[in-house]
């Protein structure tokens, strides 16, 4: 008579399954922050690339307009309509996508256009009382410029390679107005987008509390180069002043 062969099927025990699940959970907890940091580094690089393109546009504008930088508004020109600095530079930049930082998202909308970079309008506070320095000017009244009227010119800037022209949006959205840049008056204008608080942010009036201990932002300087500055370096007003004021280095 044929004999029947019984084969024993061996499966996983409950303890083995729990061990595997625990290992997967530990690996996920380790790797997810790494993936998040890698993604943010890519966004940071994209924001830097955008600012570099804007910087090239600024340098071409300066060459075309007798070494004059664009102001926040271009209303000081006789017969010229008031335009934001982003609109004045758009013929040189060529793409409105360049004006949006992937980390912060658009913090200001004008019609169909969206922007998220801030402009160094009036420099930084000299004192805690609020006396401001000189930035690249409002344009309409010439306020905040070294001469007091008209655009800021290259000859007005003591150290273009150390003077900020524009930068990432502030983390509470305050620079969405496009005329006020991080560091202008209060700590809340300093971006902590990369490595700190992340966006998108819902507008310049939100006044969300931000963590000023970590992270930082990308900045475009008056000579066209771009670099990342940690927020902790810009918290002291004395340290902030030379970065944002076109004079007083």
Give the DSSP per-residue string, 29-51.
Answer: HHHHHHHHHHHHHHHHHHHHHHH
Task: Give pLDDT, residue 18.
Answer: 82
In the chain, where are the structural domains located?
A: 15-244
Residues 6 or more apart from 3 whose CB is under 8 A from it? none
**Pairing mode, strands 226-230 and 216-221:** antiparallel
Confidence (pTM): 0.76
Task: Give pLDDT, residue 219.
Answer: 92
Rounded (5°) CA angle 210-212-214: 110
List, for the chain, all residue ranges whose pLDDT scores fall below the cut of 50.
Answer: 76, 78-80, 126-130, 175-179, 182-183, 200-209
Task: Give pLDDT, residue 72.
Answer: 80
Angle subtended by helix axes 85-93 and 14-64, to nearest 10: 90
| Two tokens, residue 86 | 């982003």
Task: Give pLDDT, residue 56.
Answer: 96
CA 42 from centre of chain: 14
Task: Give pLDDT, residue 204.
Answer: 36
| Two tokens, residue 29 | 């907890």
Q: Residue 57's closest CA among 245, 229, 243, 220?
A: 220
Where would I find the beta strands (DSSP E) of the chain? 108-110, 113-115, 117-119, 164-168, 216-221, 226-230
Where would I find the beta strands (DSSP E) of 101-145? 108-110, 113-115, 117-119
Task: Give pLDDT, residue 177.
Answer: 46
| Two tokens, residue 120 | 């160094």
Q: Residue 151's closest CA among 58, 243, 233?
A: 58
Q: Contact 138/73 with Cβ under 8 angstroms?
A: yes
- What's the CA gap between 138 and 181, in Å, rounded? 12
């Amino acid at each position: 008579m044929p004999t029947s062969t019984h084969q024993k099927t061996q499966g996983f025990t409950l303890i083995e399954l729990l061990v595997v699940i625990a290992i997967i959970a530990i690996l996920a907890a380790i790797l997810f922050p790494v993936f998040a940091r890698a993604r943010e580094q890519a966004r940071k690089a994209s924001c830097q690339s955008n600012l570099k393109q804007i910087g090239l546009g600024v340098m071409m504008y300066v060459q075309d307009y007798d070494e004059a930088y664009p102001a926040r508004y271009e209303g000081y020109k006789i017969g010229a309509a008031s335009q934001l600095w982003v609109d004045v530079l758009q013929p040189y930049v060529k793409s409105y996508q360049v004006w949006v930082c992937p980390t912060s998202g658009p913090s200001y909308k004008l019609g169909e256009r969206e922007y998220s970079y801030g402009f160094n309008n009036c420099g930084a506070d000299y004192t805690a009382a609020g006396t401001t320095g000189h930035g690249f000017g409002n344009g309409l009244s010439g306020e905040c410029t070294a001469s007091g009227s008209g655009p800021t010119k290259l000859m007005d800037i003591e150290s273009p390679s150390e003077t900020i022209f524009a930068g990432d949006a502030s983390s509470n959205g305050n620079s969405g107005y496009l005329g006020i840049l991080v560091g202008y008056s209060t700590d809340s204008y300093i971006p902590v987008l990369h490595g700190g608080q992340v966006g998108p942010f819902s507008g310049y009036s939100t006044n969300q509390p931000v963590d000023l201990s970590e992270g930082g932002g990308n900045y475009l300087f008056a000579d066209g180069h771009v670099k990342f500055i940690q927020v902790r370096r810009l918290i002291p007003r004395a340290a902030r002043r030379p970065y944002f004021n076109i004079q007083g280095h």
